A = this chain, B = another copy of it.
Amino acid sequence: MLNFDFYNPTRILFGTNTIKKINDLVPVDARVLVLLGGESARKNGTLAEVREALGTREVHEFDGIEPNPSFETLMKAVELIRAKKLDFLLAVGGGSVIDGTKFVAAAVGYEGDAWEILETRGSKITHALPFGSVLTLPATGSEMNNGGVVTLKATQTKLPFSSNLVFPKFSILDPNKTFTLPARQLANGVVDAYIHVMEQYLTYPVDGRVQDRFAEGLLQTLIEIGPLVLDESADYNTRANLMWSASMALNGLIGSGVPQDWSTHMIGHELTALHNIDHARTLAIVLPANMQIRRAEKRDKLLQYAERVWHIVEGDEEQRIDAAIERTRVFFESLGLPTRLCDYQLGAKDIDEIIHQLEVHKLTKLGERRDVTIAVSRQILEASL
């Protein structure tokens, strides 16, 4: 097992009727900015519930944080907070709104150009406004971690950042809030969480037995509930299990003490930036090809994954690995996520541009061994045609 430093102070209030607890969690004299994405929280009553819980506190709203939140939009929220002298933020939405709120929390008091926060991946953050979140879309895990991704619209650059100063003080996870979500977003959430786990699990063995078992448990849970979640009659517990799986998939726990990959994410980010494909959908394209191209390097973990997650015990080792990759692909497809570039009308001619962006962003040594060079990324993209 590798050495590690685990810290996660976010308080989680999980379950039915938990939004009203905001009243106990936000300081009584707080001047609050509620940050929102699209119209859904306003339309489905979640915003009204949040405002009721906030009672007589001074509350302002900031609408319109887009999927893949942009630096340009977020800086408008920063201006509003400075102008109104607000001191507590409340994100109401999914991963994009929460990621954006983290950036805003750090940028408000930042001396210098806030873009530096992203250029330095968060390492220059010295303080941040306190904030909480009300999660409406289970997927990214942002509600229980210290990271985010912000896009500079001008250049279509997606930059991740993290800091122990931007953990949410609390996150409210009420699974009932997912009942109005479109199937596409739920399916994306299942796959996003699944691939978050895979990035931390499918590397090479270091005898991290608890981490492996936890990762496998999350994958098994997501495989079980994936089809159930898409059923419109999905019950509360199915949604609750999705919500908790997605949080646990990326809160630092399963990645502590083990190697991590993240090359699928890095390549996927370029697909979103260039072709506006949903984040989870880019991952569903890249992961199966990534497993295929790097099967030698990931051999031991692929065999463990085949056996423990998919219960594949027939055939020789190569056949079991083939079967595990195929089952993974079929699982994503069964949820309505295509797994090939051609499904998005992208072909061999488009690969050069993606590769160019990886080079521009200096993503030339990816993966748990830093051996996913530009040449390997190209192979992965070619295998995903």
Contact = CB atoms under 8 A, between A and B. Distances in A.
Interface stretch (A14-22, A150-158, A282-290): A14-22
Contacts of A257: 14-15, 240, 244
A179 to B, nearest CB: 15
Contact of A3 (B14, B206, B220): B14
A11 interface: yes
- Size class of A's contact patch? 35 or more
B1 A240 contact: yes
A244 B210 contact: yes
Query: Which of A7, A18, A220, A253 has the most C-beta atoms of chain B within 10 angstroms of its own C-beta?
Result: A7
Contacts of A14: 1, 3-6, 256-257
Interface in A207-233: 207-210, 213-214, 216-218, 220-221, 224-225
Contacts of A15: 1-4, 257
Contacts of A236: 1
Query: How would you classify the secondary structure of chain A's contact residues: helix, strand, loop or mixed?
Result: mixed
Given A1-B15, A11-B5, A217-B216, A207 B244 contact: no
Contacts of A256: 12, 14
Given A221-B210, A241-B209, A245-B210, A16 B4 contact: no
A248 interface: yes
Contacts of A253: 253
25 contacts: A2-B15, A3-B17, A5-B11, A5-B12, A5-B14, A6-B11, A6-B14, A7-B9, A7-B10, A7-B11, A8-B8, A9-B9, A15-B257, A207-B237, A208-B241, A209-B225, A209-B245, A210-B221, A210-B244, A210-B245, A213-B213, A213-B221, A214-B217, A244-B257, A253-B253
Interface of A: 1-18, 206-210, 213-214, 216-218, 220-221, 224-225, 236-237, 240-241, 244-245, 248, 253, 256-257
